Amino acid sequence: MKCNQKGCDEVASYRFTWPGNDEDGICENHVGQLIAIASAMGMHLQVIPISEHEKQINDAVVYGQGVLVDGKHLPVTEVAKDSEGDES
């Protein structure tokens, strides 16, 4: 999982869920901004740090290897569907 911010290529260090949306990832550089936006909107945003193990999985996705997701082995092409709109 990569950071969901436009133009950011960092691997996500945290995951979060906006109400009504799928879980997404955010990097160390953007997490503070994200929390600030949420609190400015009066929302409580749950941000969960991604463990080292999960980071390794993230790296595997980012660097084009297969990956385990929820205990299932998925090819990267399957996982990469997640990151549309990431073309910059």
**Residues making contact with Zn ion (CB under 5 A):** 3, 5, 8, 10, 27, 29-30
Q: From the CB of 48, what's the least distance to Zn ion, in Å?
A: 16
Q: Which is nearer to Zn ion, 8 or 38 (CB)?
A: 8
The string of DSSP letters for 9-55 reads: -PBPSEEE--TTS--EEE-HHHHHHHHHHHHHTT----EEEPPHHHH
Q: Which is nearer to Zn ion, 25 or 79 (CB)?
A: 25
3-state SS assignment for residue 77: helix
Comparison of 66 and 83: residue with beta carbon closer to Zn ion: 83
Backbone angles phi, psi at 38, to 5 degrees: -60, -45
Residue 31 CB, shortest distance to Zn ion, in Å, is: 8
